[in-house]
């Protein structure tokens, strides 16, 4: 997978799931200084790019464009902006499913993580339904 630029919301979600270290070990993860300021610390293994003045979300996507990076975010506006810029993007649910699809976690761990994510993530029904479709397709191919 190419470089992935992560925003504050996804850092928080991955930390709540105790999955941040695993994601950083599997994917090449970076962010911008504004995200680190919002998050409050620098996660081990995350590359930090300096960013100019402006809205952190916009600066993150602009950095992703410069690096041709994937965007990791929970924020619908960030994901829409990434899409308009022609970038790939993932929310935490899709990151968990990508880990499962790559064989980094097994089906039991995947199900547990998705269940815990459901407890606090603010995904709409269409996002949840799509995640279930992806999981079913992965199960067919992996089991």
Q: Where are the domains of the chain?
A: 4-92, 93-142
Say yes or no to pLDDT of 46 above 70: yes
Of the pLDDT bands very low, low, confident and very high (cuts 50, 70, 90), residue 38 is very high
Reading phi first (left if > 0) and then psi (alpha if -120 to 50, else beta), residue 89 is in beta
- By CB atoms closer than 10 A (0-12, 13-18, 19+), residue 134 is middle
Of the pLDDT bands very low, low, confident and very high (cuts 50, 70, 90), residue 142 is confident
105 secondary structure, DSSP code:
S
Of the pLDDT bands very low, low, confident and very high (cuts 50, 70, 90), residue 74 is very high
16-33 pLDDT, tens digit each: 999 999 999 999 999 999
The pLDDT assigned to 70 comes to 97
Rounded CA-CA distance 127/52 in Å is: 32
The pLDDT assigned to 143 comes to 60
Is the CATH code 3.40.50.1820 the one for domain 4-92? no
């Amino acid at each position: 997978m190419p470089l992935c630029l992560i925003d504050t919301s996804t850092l928080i979600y991955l930390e709540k799931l105790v999955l941040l270290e695993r994601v950083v070990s599997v994917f090449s993860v970076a962010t911008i200084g504004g995200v680190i300021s919002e998050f409050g610390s620098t996660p081990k293994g995350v590359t930090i790019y300096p960013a100019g003045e402006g809205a952190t979300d916009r600066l993150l996507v602009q950095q992703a464009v410069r690096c041709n990076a994937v965007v990791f975010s929970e924020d619908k506006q960030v994901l829409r902006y990434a899409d308009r810029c022609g970038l790939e993007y993932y929310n935490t649910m899709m990151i968990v499913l990508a880990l499962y699809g790559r064989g980094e976690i097994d089906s039991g761990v995947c199900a547990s993580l998705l269940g815990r994510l459901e407890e606090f993530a603010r995904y709409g029904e269409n996002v949840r339904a799509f995640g279930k479709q992806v999981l079913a397709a992965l199960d067919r191919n992996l089991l």
